[in-house]
A and B are shown apart, each in its own frame.
Chain A
Amino acid sequence: MAQPPISRGFRGRKPPVQSDRIPPGQHLVHDFPVLSAGPTPHAPLSEWSFSLDQGGKALKEWSWEEFNALPQTRLKTDIHCVTTWSKLDTQWRGVSIDDLLKAAGLAEPPGDFTMAHCDGDYTTNVPVDDLAGGKGMVATHFEGEPLAPEHGGPARLLVPHLYFWKSAKWIRTLEFLDSDEPGFWEQLGYHIYGDPWQEQRYAGD
């Protein structure tokens, strides 16, 4: 729409600082809102595992103990939720996708695309180029504490440069695929890629 209607009397509250870090249509929050489609899973850590899969088979699987023995990566980053909140300077710790590939003995990612599979049947698709090269991790800690269940604990995918639904909570498997397939929200009208700086909220954006 070329000429948006002016909302008479609306003044708003401009972002005070660092507006260059807030993508279009987003606003800054200081708490950490919780959004999820169903009940929060509470799987015991003794039953938890994480795997890299391809073609329905595990390339490598880690128990909770094994997973936590992998090299740790710390990341301070901004996050952007499609429901329009952004949060700056969040601090995460976990295992980078690069280190997972290395620990699985894979010199190259075995596909160009991935699907994250989670407890509660949630899925989301992310291209490998958005995970490898230091861009993504499987996070187990937030602000120095173990990740709380409602925020995706024990472990969630973290792809902070995409809208936060891509950072799938309760991740258990990262499946490598040759083609891009839509995950849970992507099948329900959300954007297949989800770049907040392009404001790719919904299909066709």
Chain B
Amino acid sequence: MIRNGSDSAVPRRLQWQTAEVSGLIDETPRVRSLVLTLPDWPGHKPGQHVDIRLTGEDGYRAQRSYSIASAPESENVMLTVERIEDGEVSPYLSIDVRKGDKFELRGPIGGHFVWTSALQGPLFLIAGGSGVAPLMAMLRHRAAAKNKAPATLLYSSRAFEDIIYRTELERLAAMGDGLKIVHTLTRQQPAGWAGGARRIDRAMLESEGFPPAARPRIFICGPTRLVESASQIMLDLGHEANLIKTERFGPTGG
């Protein structure tokens, strides 16, 4: 069963609150992280998301969902936004927004695509592009909780400069706490690149992941094609369906 009794507590009502942008981090040429200060944040689990609502000067409103990229241990909430060229909300959040700007937010939302340090066993995270955001919340939480269970992030980006959180991921991998990070670059690789140079495929998932007998918890987040293919391969390799959790990032995140 996918259902998990511990996640089934009576939910509290989600109220809109005003988030203030207290920091901006340019992650890649197309991706920016927003650090938000919130008056009343109840805490979250890594993997959960929030809804945000923008109101223009003329009263026009737009609402979107974004994954939380920060650990629960972090003081602020971080969202990571990839610019969709013809999008309505993401260009504003990834280009126009400045420190001190405000918008409405409510959350955290979702209790399925979540991992906390209390869960036993190896962790296998599979990411494509900005789908790494909720998985980063898990890795940041894992480090903050000093969890030493083996964990692997297999992360597909288009090119080296498109790798989100690159230096922080290097730092996390260097901690020697059982975390392995494997990059694959699908379109362009720098000279002397030692990582993967193709889309995530069966050979990669088999060699970089854990054997089914180790019963890893598997989280897959990225574009639909990657999620469909990686989850199907993990099933074919013998992993149990109820250990595979998926979340998708499509162009309609806009």
Contact = CB atoms under 8 A, between A and B. Distances in A.
Interface string B153-168: 0000000000000000
A181 B58 CA distance: 42
A24 B14 CA distance: 17
B12 to A, nearest CB: 7
A7 B55 contact: yes
A50 interface: no
B104 interface: yes
B165 to A, nearest CB: 24
Given A7-B56, A120-B241, A205-B14, A84 B96 contact: no
A9 B232 contact: no
A13 B64 CA distance: 14
A188 B8 CA distance: 6
A142 interface: no
B244 A38 contact: yes
Contacts of A122: 2
A133 interface: no
Nearest to A26: B63
A13 B2 contact: no
A187 interface: yes
B2 A37 contact: yes
B38 interface: no
B139 interface: no
A39 B234 contact: yes
Interface stretch (A28-36, A72-80, A92-100, A108-116): A28-36
A44 interface: no
A6 B11 contact: no
Interface in A1-44: 1, 4-14, 25-27, 29, 31, 33-42
B244 A150 contact: no
B60 A12 contact: yes
Given A12-B88, A187-B3, A202-B14, A6 B56 contact: yes
A203 B110 CA distance: 12
Interface of B: 1-3, 7-8, 10-18, 51, 53-58, 60-65, 88-89, 92, 96-98, 101-104, 109-113, 224, 227-228, 231-232, 234-235, 241-242, 244-246, 248, 250-252, 254
16 contacts: A6-B57, A10-B96, A27-B88, A29-B254, A37-B246, A38-B241, A38-B245, A38-B246, A39-B232, A84-B65, A85-B252, A184-B2, A184-B3, A185-B112, A188-B8, A202-B109
